[in-house]
Structure 1
Amino acid sequence: MTTTEIKTACLLAGIYMTRMLGLFLIFPTFSLLANNLQGSTPFKIGLALGIYSLSQAVLQIPAGMLSDIIGRKKVLYGGLTFFFIGSVLAANTRDIDVLIIARLLQGMGAVSAVCLAYVADSISADQRSKAMVIIGLAIGSSFILSFILGSLIADAWGLGGLFATTACLAAMAIVFAYLLPTPKQTLAVFNWSDLIKGAMNWQLLQVNLQVAVLHMMLSASFFLIPILLKAGELADNSLMSLYVPAILIAFVAIGPIIRTSRESSATRLPVFWAVFALALLLFSLADAFVDSWWFIAVLALFFFAFTFIEAVLPARLFQLAKTTSRGTTSGIFSVYQYGGSFLGGLLGAKLYTTLSQNAILSDAFYFLAMLTTVVAIATFIIQKKG
C-alpha cells in the first residue's frame, strides 16, 4: 500500500471506529439508566435504543446515492455533523421524548456505505483487502472498547456522560473526514438498475436477512441482559467486571478460527448460528447465575458466535457483489443491519413488558433462542440445496 492509501485506510478506520462506538457504547447500561428519565416507559426506552438504527437503515441508500452525485467528503461532513448535534442534544436532556429525537438525529449520520465506497475510490483493487483488514480491526476494537468504556463512563457520569463522550467521538470523526485525501471519484447520476438488482438478488438477500436477524438479537439481548442481572444474584457485580472478561475471551478464541478457515467460513455459518442460539437459551437459566463466571462463560459463548457471524457476512457479501455496484450493495446491507437493530430494541421492550408482569423475564430468551434456531436450520437447508 502507498502512503496515501495507508493514510486513507487508517482515517476511514477512525471514522468507522467512532461510529461503532456511538452505536455500542450505550448498550451495556442504557435500559437501566434511561429508566430514570422523565416520561420513560419500556416502549419509549426501546424506541430510543432502536430509532438510531432505524434512521441509519432509512438513510444508508440515499446517502450512498447522494455521495455518487455530489462527492463522498461532502456527505461525510453532513452525516457526521448530524451525529454530533444529536449527541450534544442527548447529553443535555433528562426527558425521554427529547432523547428519542436526539437519537434520531444521531442516526442521520448514515455514512457506513459512503465509507465503503470511499475505499473503492481511493485504494487500488489489489490493496483493498488490506484496507478492509485495517477497518475490520478498528471495528473489532471499538466493539470491545464500547463495553469497557460504556460501563466505566456510566458508573462515573451516567447517561449524560455516555452521550457527551459520543459527542467528542463525533468531533474526532469530523476531523478524520477533513484529513481524508480527496477520492478519485467520477461524479455520476445514480443507476437505479444496480439498486434493483442488488435488492432482488437471492444470494445477497440471504446475507442481508442474516445480518438483520443477528443485530435484532443483539439489540434485544442487551435491552434484557442488564435488567436480568439487576433482578438476579449478580445485581451487586459491576457490569464491567462481567462484560469485559467475556468479550476478551471471545475475542481471543475467535481469531484463530477466522484466520484458519477463510475459504470455508461461510459454510460454517449454520454451526455458529446454532452456537448463538445455545447461548441465548442458556441466558434463560437466569436463576443459575449465582456465580459470576457462569454468566461470563455464557456471555463469552454469545460473543464468540456473534463475532464469527459478524465477520463472515460482509466477506460473503463482497464475494457475491459486482465490482461496479459495491457501494449500492453495501448500502442495502447496511439497511438490513440497522433495521434489525431497530426492531431488536422494540422486540426487547415488548418481551420485557409482556413477560416481566409474570416474573418470567428469563423466558424472553427462550423466544430469542427459538428464532435463532430457525435461522440456523434455514441456513443449513439452503446450503445443502445450493
Structure 2
Amino acid sequence: MSPLETRTVTTLALIYALRMFGLFMVLPVLALFAQDYQGATASLVGVAIGVYGLTQACLQLPFGVWSDRIGRKPVIVIGLALFSLGSALAAVADDIWLLILGRALQGAGAVASTLMALMTDLTREENRTKAMASIGASIGLSFTLAMVVGPLLAGWMGLSGLFMLTGLLSLLAIGLLLAVVPTPRQQVRSRDARAFVSQLGDVFKDKQILRLSFGIFTLHAVLVACFVALPVALVDAGLLQPEHWKVYLPVMLVAFVMMVPFIIIGEKKQKMKQVLLCAVILLMASVALLGFELSSVWGISFALWVFFVAFNILEASLPSLVSKFAPAGFKGSAMGVYSTSQFLGAFIGGMLGGLLSEYYSLSYVFWGMLPLLFIWIVLVWTMQTPRHLTSYRVALSVQGLNNTMLESQLLTLPGVHEVVIMLNDQAAYLKVDSKEFDPIHLKKFNT
C-alpha cells in the first residue's frame, strides 16, 4: 500500500476500534450495574444490554444509501455523534428506560458499512483485502481489550464513567476522521463494499448465505445472553466485580492463542467446514457446561475459556465463508444480510437472557441457548463444502462495456470461475482461484 493508503486504513481501523471498544466495554459489567436503576428488572436489563443491536440492524442499510447521496464523511460524523449522544444519555440515566433509550441511540450510529465504503473509496482494488483484514483485526483486538479493561474501569469510575468515556472516544474518532482521513474525490459504489437493495432478494434465496447468517445470529444471541448471566454468576460464586478481569484476561489471551491453529488448518488445508462444525460443537458444550458450573469460579473460567476458543474461531471464520459463498458482485449485499443478522442476534439474545434469568434461573439462560446451537450444528453439517475462491473487481473501459463477448472472454482466463458484469458500476465482478489467477491478464479490460 502507498503511504497515503496505509495512513488512511490505519486511521479507519482505529476509528472502528474506538467505536467497538466503547460498545463492548460495558458488556461484562452492564448486567451487574443496571440492577440498581429505577424500575430495573432482569428482563429490562437484558433489553438494555441487547437493544443497540436492534437499531444497528434497522439503520445499517439506510445509512449506506444515505452516504451515496451526501457523502461518506458527513454520514459517519452524524453516526458517531449519535453514538456519543447515546453514551451521554446512558451516562446520566438513573432510570432503566432512559438507559435503554441511551443504548438504542448508541446503536443508531450504524456506520459500519459506511466506514467500509469509505475505505473502498480510498484504496486501490489490489489492496482492499489487506485493508478489510486490518479493520477486522482491529475489531477483534478491541473486543479482547474491552473484555479485560471494562471490569477494571467500572470498578474505578462506575458504569456512568464507562459511558462517558465511550462518548469521548466517539468524539475522538470524529476528530481523527476529519483531521487525518482524506475526502475521496469520487465514491466507488462497489458491490463488494456494502449492500444494495436491488440485490437483497437474490441474497435471501441463497441457502448457504442464509445458513451463515443464521450462524452469526446465533453466535451473537448466545454471546449477549451469556453476558446477561455471567457477571451475576461470578459475583454469586464469590468473585467481586472489580476482580472479574482476573478471569477475563487469561481466558481471552489463551483462547486467542488456541484459535490460531484452527484458522490455519481451515484456510491452508481447506477444511473450513470441518473447523466450523468443531467450533459450533465446542460452543454448545461450553454453554451447557456454564449452566452446570455456576457455583465455581474455576468451573466458570474453564467453560468460558472453551467458549471463547470457539467464539474466536467462529467470529473469524464466518465472514470469510460469506465471501467464499457469495456470488460474484453480491458480496456487499451478502455481508449486509450477515451483519443485520448479527445485530438482530444481539438484541434477541439480550431479551431471551433477561426473560430466562427473571422467570427461571441463571442456569436456564445458558440451557435456553442450546436449541439454537443444535439447529446451527445441523445447518453446518448439511452445508456445502466451500470453494476457496476470492472476489475480484475490475473496472471496465468503454470498449470493454460494449464488448458483447466480454463475459465469455473473462471466463476463459485461468482461475476465473464466476463473472458478473454490472453496467451501472462500469465493472466486472469475478470469483477467482488465487492459485491460478493472474491479475495481469485483466489489463486489456481495465480503464
> TM-score, normalization: structure 1?
0.92
Corresponding position: 1:18 with 2:25: no
SS of the counterpart of 2:40? Answer: coil
Range with greater deviation from structure 2 (136-145 or 120-129):
120-129
Letter matched to residue 228 of structure 2 = F
- Contact 1:71–1:185 (CA under 8 A) maintained in structure 2: no
User: Residues 52 and 103 of structure 2 are in contact (CA less than 8 Å); yes or no, is this contact kept in structure 1?
Assistant: yes
The Cα of 1:92 is off from its aligned counterpart by 1.6
What pairs with 1:1-386 in structure 2 (closer than 5 Å)? 1-178=1-178, 179-183=180-184, 185-186=186-187, 192-234=197-239, 238-262=243-267, 263-286=270-293, 289=296, 292-322=297-327, 324-356=329-361, 361-383=362-384
Task: Specify the code of the residue in structure 2 equivalent to 1:366.
Answer: W
Following the alignment from structure 2 to structure 1, what is the Cα–Cα distance between the partners of residues 119 and 348? 29
CA distance in 1, matches of 2:380, 2:140: 25
Secondary structure, in 3 states, of the residue corresponding to 1:62?
helix
- SS of the counterpart of 1:362? helix
Query: Which sections of structure 2, spanning at least 5 residues, go unmatched?
Result: 190-194, 388-447
The alpha-carbon deviation at position 301 of structure 1 amounts to 0.7
1:255 Cα deviation from its structure 2 partner: 2.1
Contact 2:154 2:242 in 1 (8 A): no
TM-fit CA distance, 1:373: 2.5
Distance 1:367 1:213 in 2: 12
CA RMSD in angstroms comes to 2.3
Comparing 340-349 and 363-372, the one that deviates more: 363-372
What SS does structure 1 have at the residue aligned with 2:369? helix
What secondary structure does 1:181 align onto? coil
Give me the whole-angstrom Cα distance separating, in 2, the residues matched to 1:164 and 1:341: 22
Aligned residue for 1:28, secondary structure, equals coil
2:408 maps to none
Q: Give the Å deviation of 1:168.
A: 1.4
Query: What is the distance in 1 between the residues matched to 2:308 and 2:231?
Result: 16
Distance 2:277 2:294 in 1: 29
Amino acid at match of 1:17: A
Deviation digits for residues 43-80 of structure 1, max 9, x if unmatched?
Answer: 22111111111000100111111122222112111111
Q: Could you tell me how far apart the structure 1 residues matched to 2:241 and 2:225 are?
A: 23
Contact 1:50 1:341 in 2 (8 A): yes
CA 1:101 to 1:237, structure 2 compared with 1: closer, same or farther past 3 Å?
Answer: closer
Per-residue deviation at 1:22? 2.5
CA distance in 2, matches of 1:375, 1:242: 28
Cα deviations across residues 332-361 of structure 1 (Å, max 9, x unaligned)?
Answer: 2221111100000001001101213xxxx3
CA deviation after TM superposition for structure 1 residue 229, in Å: 1.9
CA contact (8 A) 1:50 1:344 kept: yes
- Measured at CA, do residues 125 and 236 of structure 1 come closer, stay the same or move farther in structure 2, by a change above 3 Å? closer
Larger radius of gyration, structure 1 or 2?
Answer: 2
Output the CA distance in 1 between the equivalents of 2:43 and 2:227. Answer: 15
* CA apart distance, 1:275: 0.4
Give yes or no for contact 1:64–1:331 (8 Å, CA) kept in 2: no
- Please say if residues 267 and 383 of structure 1, whose CA atoms lie closer than 8 Å, have aligned partners that are also in contact: no
Q: Closer, same or farther in 2 for the Cα pair 1:237/1:34, shift >3 Å?
A: closer
Q: 1:323 Cα deviation (Å)?
A: 5.7
More helix by share: 1
Query: What SS does the aligned partner of 2:343 have?
Result: helix
Asked if structure 1 preserves the Cα contact closer than 8 Å seen for 2:151 and 2:241, the reply is no
Report the 3-state secondary structure (helix = DSSP H, G, I; strand = E; otherwise coil) of the residue aligned with 1:382: coil
Q: 1:186 to 1:371 in 2, by over 3 A?
A: closer
Q: Which moved more, 1:178-187 or 1:305-314?
A: 178-187
Higher RCO, 1 or 2 (CA under 8 Å, sep at least 6)?
A: 1
Tell me if structure 2 keeps the 8 A contact 1:352–1:364.
yes
Question: Gapped runs of 5+ residues in structure 1?
Answer: none
Assess if the C-alpha contact under 8 Å between 2:321 and 2:386 holds in 1.
Answer: no
Alpha-carbon separation, structure 1, partners of 2:188 and 2:170: 27
Question: For residues 180 and 267 of structure 1, do their structure 2 counterparts lie closer, same or farther at Cα, with a shift above 3 Å needed?
Answer: farther
Aligned-pair distance for 1:10?
0.8
Structure 1, 300-309 or 253-262: larger mean CA deviation: 253-262
Structure 1 residues 380 and 325: CA distance shift in structure 2, 3 A? closer
The answer on whether the counterparts of 2:155 and 2:241 sit within 8 Å (CA) in structure 1 is no
Equivalent residue letter for 1:353: E
* Structure 2 CA distance for partners of 1:191 and 1:28, relative to 1, 3 Å: closer
Q: With structure 2 as the length reference, what TM-score do the two structures score? A: 0.80
| Distance (whole Å) between structure 1 residues aligned to residue 305 and residue 125 of structure 2 | 36
Q: CA deviation at 1:226?
A: 1.2
**Distance (Å, rounded) in 2 between the aligned partners of 1:174 and 1:385:** 39
For 2:326 and 2:386, the matched residues in 1 are separated by: 21
Residue aligned with 1:38, SS: coil
> Residue 155 and residue 379 in structure 1: after superposition, are their counterparts in 2 closer, same or farther (change >3 A)?
same
8 Å CA contact 1:64–1:328 kept in 2: the answer is no
* TM-fit CA distance, 1:219: 0.4
